Structure 1
Amino acid sequence: MDMIWMSLVLLVGLLLLLGAGLWVAFALTGTALVALHAFSGIPAGDSLATAFYGASVSWELAALPMFIWMGEVLFRSRLSEQMFSGIAPWVGRVPGRLLHTNILGCGIFAAISGSSAATAATIGKMSVPELTRRGYDRRQILGTLAGSATLGLLIPPSIILIVYGVATEQSIARLFVAGILPGLLLMMLFAGYVGLWSRFNPAGVPAEREASLPLVEKIRRSRPLIPVVLLIVGVIGSIYGGLASPTESAAIGVALAHLLSWRGGSLSWRTFVEALMGTVKTSTMIAFILVGAHFLTVSMGFTGIPRELAAWINTLSLSPYLLLLALTVFFVLLGCFLDGISVVVLTTSVILPMVQAAGIDPLWFGIYLVIVVEMSQITPPVGFNLFVIQGLTGENIVRVARAALPYFLLLLAGVVLITVFPQIVTYLPSRMGS
């Protein structure tokens, strides 16, 4: 029980540092220093230097700024302007009609930005005014945007999956591939719900005014989106096929993103510098968090707290399902106050030994963790994405939360499905080795 009290003291200290407004990286480092001084005889200075160096020289980590740079370049291209016109011809006769543009648009942009907040803001600026003007149900406009924007955390190339892979020493390529089927599953759940809802609420979906378009015309109108879709498929396909590592694919993606931006006429010296500076700021922030988290992981290892906690969890005889239920509640609550990357790096050093002791695959757990963090982004009434959409639309936060609630439940259904059928996550990665 001494270890339980030690872990509670460290957790309270960490929360106090975070609550005081200290940067996450420094809060992690400070907690690690206290743990080493108070609960072990290991020299803190030597451990700090070794941990910082070890976390900084990971080759897999090089993919992080590359994918961020690719997203920053395409974010400043005319993609968001072309998204609606490119997707609309394909969903005009599907139940729910143009509401699906939020789902498909967020799915495509999620694979570019890797950020749920950026996805919500970018797609929302384009779709909310247009769908409102056409007479679509306001609650469904907000709900589809809130739910689908969370896909930015899961659909590869995902920044948070890179962070998880580095923090837990899992293969980033296998994590990327593992996120494909769950991401498609969530998009199908969202689209199925919209189609079903539209059947029972026809007044919320305006009557079709446009004539049915031939296939050739649909392709012509979607032509601006085709290069971006091919870029995403090429990046993921090269990783899945074993043709390139995530870092190599990211470098190619950056070059192709600049080429697409140049061909679209949106690449200028100003946008190039803005994209570069945005990449530096985001990458530096994540890198600082990662080195702080790595130092905390090392210090936890020296204190023996994770090992003791894992042993204590085993004495409770919790089944894997009960453990996952408890962790789901914990992560959703934690995600209400922290961004997804911070949740991952704060918890993996302590949680992962418990998970492995329960016989849960760390690869599967990474996808589960990302989906649960997605849920926390739209948890009524304090999810981060809800505030992004409130600022974008001016709607009351309670109304935005009510609109997002069905999609929170659909994400929960996704967690249940991958728990009952773990092959949804593990099938594609298992095929990589064959």
Structure 2
Amino acid sequence: MTTLTAGAILLALMLLLLAGGVWIAMTLAICGWVGQAFLTSSEPGLNLFSAFWESNASWELAALPLFIWMGEILFRTKLSEEMFRGLAPWLNRVPGRLFHTTILGCGIFGSVSGSSAATCATIAKVSLPELKRRGYDERIAMGSLATAGTLGILIPPSITMVVYAVAADASIIRIFLAGFLPGLLLMALFSGYIGWWSLRHRDRMPPPEPTTTLVDKLKLSRNLLPCAALIVFVCWSLVAGWATATECAAYGVVGALALAAWSGSLSWPSLRDSLAGAARTSCMIMFILAGAAFLTKTMAFTGIPRELAEWVDSLHLSPYALIATLVAVYLVLGTALDGISMIVLTAAVVMPMIQKAGFDLVWFGIFVILLVEIAEVTPPVGFNLFVLQNMTGQDSNRIARAALPFFGCLVACIVLITVFPAIVTIVPDLLMGQAR
């Protein structure tokens, strides 16, 4: 059986199971088991155990439930409502108004968590109920969260960036610095689309908040300051090197509990509910991670990623034709693999091609991470789609359709950094010189 046929069988099985309503994590694990049992000579039982253990036994992953718990505390103690009350007067005249809080929140939180799943889950927990209560269009809110959540892996620090730097033997610091401008560009594209949509669909926007004076705005901003101070503190702790991402997550939980107690909204029922909510969401995400890790092992054993990369190399394409082909290859891989696995499984073949074509490895790192972001919202294995599906009860395909316009913003960002590579390279070049 050819590698291409094996890949088609696994994809068809995955679509069949998802259509039949099988749990997402179970679908991934079943596909991995079938692939190893019938398409390879490996032992699926042993690999299932090791994949589930390795995917969850991680110190870095400890930040995930902590950040989710922080979001649950902010949500259940009404601190998030206070934050929105503080933001509303300032955004009242901006097209899109409070929709922009999802983009801004994901951008800021993504710089702290370094995780797409944690960013998507935490900001969704805080913003979705409040936006829905105020009458904002749920479809746009879900679409913006699915895609803006991916900012967690583009705005440094990012685990995916570290993995790429190691695989490509590139400078981690340069790749971190290279992510800032593309991250801001992507946030601007997302917010630009929201503004354009709100101007075209005024009838689907809630009525504006009552006009307030500058003094009233400043008074209401007191509601914004506690949460803003917590976010700034967590961000600065990481940027200044005072703490790791996991330690920052712990600081965030302690800070959220302190703010809730100070505001008088912390109670035993709210604390119990926040713990239960964080446990449910964290277990859901970790179960999906484990299933994806097992499927990734199967893909490695079948050799599908390697053969795709070798096929591209055999075409002897021009530099930009090579880039266009790699986009197609990574998008195909993104339907069945997580981002880190895509990078690890293709690095050995792709990196020499990129260097031979004359592309900067730092630029290519940001290029690949943007493709990984697209994979996070591409069915059938769009991880952010699964996170929102489990949090909202909406079908992942409906969320994917809601994310389509923002998907276009991701594509536009890839085109812009390809046409103007200085968007990626100017910051590391200015701050670190031309040394590679």
Q: TM-score, normalised by structure 1?
A: 0.70
Kept after mapping to 2: 8 A contact 1:376/1:383? no
**2:214 maps to 1:213:** yes
Give the aligned partner of residue 256 of structure 1.
255
C-alpha separation between the residues in 2 aligned to 1:370 and 1:326? Answer: 14
**Pairing of 1:66-145 with structure 2 (within 5 A):** 66-92=66-92, 96=95, 99-104=96-101, 107-108=104-105, 114=118, 123=127, 126-127=130-131, 145=141
C-alpha separation between the residues in 1 aligned to 2:386 and 2:24? Answer: 19
**2:372 maps to 1:369:** yes
Kept after mapping to 2: 8 A contact 1:10/1:31? yes
The answer to which of 251-260 and 222-231 deviates more is 222-231
Kept after mapping to 1: 8 A contact 2:103/2:144? yes
C-alpha separation between the residues in 1 aligned to 2:367 and 2:236? Answer: 20
Give the aligned partner of residue 293 of structure 2.
294
Distance 1:316 1:6, change over 3 A: farther
C-alpha separation between the residues in 2 aligned to 1:404 and 1:363? Answer: 21
Question: How far does the alpha carbon of each residue in 1:83-108 deviate from its partner, in whole angstroms, 9 at most, with x for none?
Answer: 343123334555x3xx3332135523
C-alpha separation between the residues in 2 aligned to 1:49 and 1:116? Answer: 28
C-alpha separation between the residues in 2 aligned to 1:406 and 1:390? Answer: 21
What code does the residue aligned with 1:416 have? V
Give the aligned partner of residue 5 of structure 2.
5
The answer to which of 289-298 and 146-155 deviates more is 146-155
1:307: how far off? 1.9
**Pairing of 1:334-349 with structure 2 (within 5 A):** none
What code does the residue aligned with 2:412 have? A
**2:325 maps to 1:323:** yes
Kept after mapping to 2: 8 A contact 1:61/1:162? no
C-alpha separation between the residues in 1 aligned to 2:329 and 2:188? Answer: 25
Kept after mapping to 2: 8 A contact 1:306/1:353? no
Give the aligned partner of residue 303 of structure 1.
302
C-alpha separation between the residues in 2 aligned to 1:147 and 1:65? Answer: 23
C-alpha separation between the residues in 1 aligned to 2:17 and 2:40? Answer: 21
Question: How far does the alpha carbon of each residue in 1:212-240 deviate from its partner, in whole angstroms, 9 at most, with x for none?
Answer: 515xx544321222222232233233333
Kept after mapping to 2: 8 A contact 1:241/1:432? no
Kept after mapping to 1: 8 A contact 2:102/2:148? no
Give the aligned partner of residue 18 of structure 1.
18
SS of the residue corresponding to residue 253 of structure 2 reads: helix
SS of the residue corresponding to residue 211 of structure 2 reads: coil
Matched positions, count: 402
Q: TM-score, normalised by structure 2?
A: 0.69
Kept after mapping to 2: 8 A contact 1:148/1:187? no
SS of the residue corresponding to residue 222 of structure 1 reads: helix
Name stretches of at least 5 consecutive residues in structure 2 with no aligned partner.
110-116, 355-360
Question: How far does the alpha carbon of each residue in 1:304-363 deviate from its partner, in whole angstroms, 9 at most, with x for none?
Answer: 33322321233345634323553687589x6xxx9xxx8758977877777657647456
What code does the residue aligned with 2:47 have? S
**2:121 maps to 1:154:** no
Distance 1:5 1:119, change over 3 A: same
1:412: how far off? 3.8
CA RMSD of aligned residues (A): 4.9
C-alpha separation between the residues in 2 aligned to 1:131 and 1:13? Answer: 40
Kept after mapping to 1: 8 A contact 2:77/2:260? yes
**Pairing of 1:226-305 with structure 2 (within 5 A):** 226-305=225-304
Question: How far does the alpha carbon of each residue in 1:102-130 deviate from its partner, in whole angstroms, 9 at most, with x for none?
Answer: 21355237756956588568646545675
C-alpha separation between the residues in 2 aligned to 1:298 and 1:404? Answer: 29
Distance 1:276 1:189, change over 3 A: same
C-alpha separation between the residues in 2 aligned to 1:371 and 1:418? Answer: 15
Give the aligned partner of residue 31 of structure 1.
31
C-alpha separation between the residues in 2 aligned to 1:251 and 1:432? Answer: 31
Name stretches of at least 5 consecutive residues in structure 1 with no aligned partner.
133-140, 392-396
C-alpha separation between the residues in 1 aligned to 2:268 and 2:153? Answer: 26
Kept after mapping to 1: 8 A contact 2:18/2:27? yes
Give the aligned partner of residue 136 of structure 1.
none
SS of the residue corresponding to residue 73 of structure 1 reads: helix
C-alpha separation between the residues in 2 aligned to 1:153 and 1:201? Answer: 24
Give the aligned partner of residue 62 of structure 2.
62
C-alpha separation between the residues in 2 aligned to 1:383 and 1:255? Answer: 28
C-alpha separation between the residues in 1 aligned to 2:126 and 2:138? Answer: 14
What code does the residue aligned with 1:266 have? S
